[in-house]
Structure 1
Amino acid sequence: MTATVSVAVPRKGRPLEAVLERLAARTGDTNLADDVISTLRYEKAVTKGSKREHRDVYQRLRAYSDIDDASAPEFTLLRDDREGFPRRVVFDSVTFTSDDVDIHLVGREEPFRALRTHSFALGFDSADLVLEEVVGLTPDPLEDLAGVNERIDPHDTDVRVVTGLGDTVYHTLMATPEAIEGSSRSTLDRGFVAAYEGELCISPRYERLVEAVLGTDAVEDVAFTYAEDGREEEAAIADSGVGVYLTMSGSTARDHGLELGERLFPSETVLMSNTAEIDEAAERAISLFESAELDSELVVQ
Structure 2
Amino acid sequence: MGETIPIAVPRKGRPLESVLDRLARRLGQPDLADEISSTLRHEKALTKGSLEPDEPNVYHRLADYSSVDDPTAPEYTLLRDDRAGKPRRIVFDSVTLPLEDVDAIDSDGEIQLIGREEPFRALRTHEFALGFDSADLILEEVVQLRPEPLDRIEAINERIDPADTDVRVITGLGDTVYHTLMATPEVAPPSEHLDRDFLETYEGPLCIEPRYERLVQAVLGTRTLDGVNFQYPVAHREEEAAIADAGLGVYLTVTGSTAREHGLLLGEQLFPSETILLENSSETTDSVDAVRSLLNGGDLETELAVE
- TM-score by length of structure 1 reads 0.96
User: SS at the partner of 1:163?
Assistant: strand
Shift of the alpha carbon at 1:300? 4.3
1:133-172 alignment to 2 at 5 Å? 133-172=141-180
Deviation at 1:294, TM superposition (A): 1.8
SS of equivalent to 2:187: helix
Structure 1 equivalent of residue 67 of structure 2: 66
- Alignment of 1:282 with 2:288, yes or no, is yes
Q: Which residue of 2 aligns with 1:197?
A: 203
Q: How does 1:80-229 map to 2 (within 5 A)?
A: 80-98=81-99, 99=102, 100=105, 101=107, 102-181=110-189, 186-229=192-235
Shift of 1:84: 3.5
SS at match of 2:194: coil
Contact 1:29–1:96 at 8 Å: present in 2 too? no
TM-score, normalised to structure 2's length?
0.94
> Which consecutive residues of structure 1, in runs of 5 or more, have no partner in the other structure?
none
1:244 pairs with 2:241: no
User: Counterparts of 2:297 and 2:266 in 1: how far apart (Å)?
Assistant: 31
What is the CA–CA distance in structure 2 between the aligned matches of 1:55 and 1:88, rounded to whole Å? 12
Seen in structure 2, the aligned counterparts of structure 1 residues 299 and 290 have a Cα distance that, compared at 3 Å, is: farther
Runs of 4+ residues deviating >4 angstroms: none
Q: Which amino acid aligns with 1:197?
A: E
Computed over aligned residues only, the root mean square deviation of the Cα atoms, in angstroms, reads: 1.3
Q: Determine the C-alpha separation between the residues in 1 that align with 2:157 and 2:18.
A: 22
CA distance in 1, matches of 2:298, 2:188: 39
Aligned partner letter, 2:43 = E
Shift of 1:149: 0.3
What are the superposed Cα offsets for residues 245-300 of structure 1, whole Å, 9 maximum, x if unpaired?
A: 00111111111111111110000000011010011111111112222232211134
Matched, 1:32 2:32: yes
Q: State which drifts further: 250-259 or 96-105.
A: 96-105
Q: Given residue 227 of structure 1, which amino acid in structure 2 is its aligned partner?
A: P
Q: Report the Cα distance in structure 2 between the residues aligned to 1:245 and 1:111, rounded to whole angstroms.
A: 23
Deviation at 1:55?
A: 2.4
Shift of 1:85: 4.4
Size of the aligned set, in residue pairs, is 299
2:5 is paired with a residue whose SS is: strand
Question: Do 2:166 and 2:280's aligned partners in 1 also have CA atoms closer than 8 Å?
Answer: yes
Q: Report the equivalent of 1:6.
A: 6
* Gaps in structure 2 of 5+ consecutive residues: none
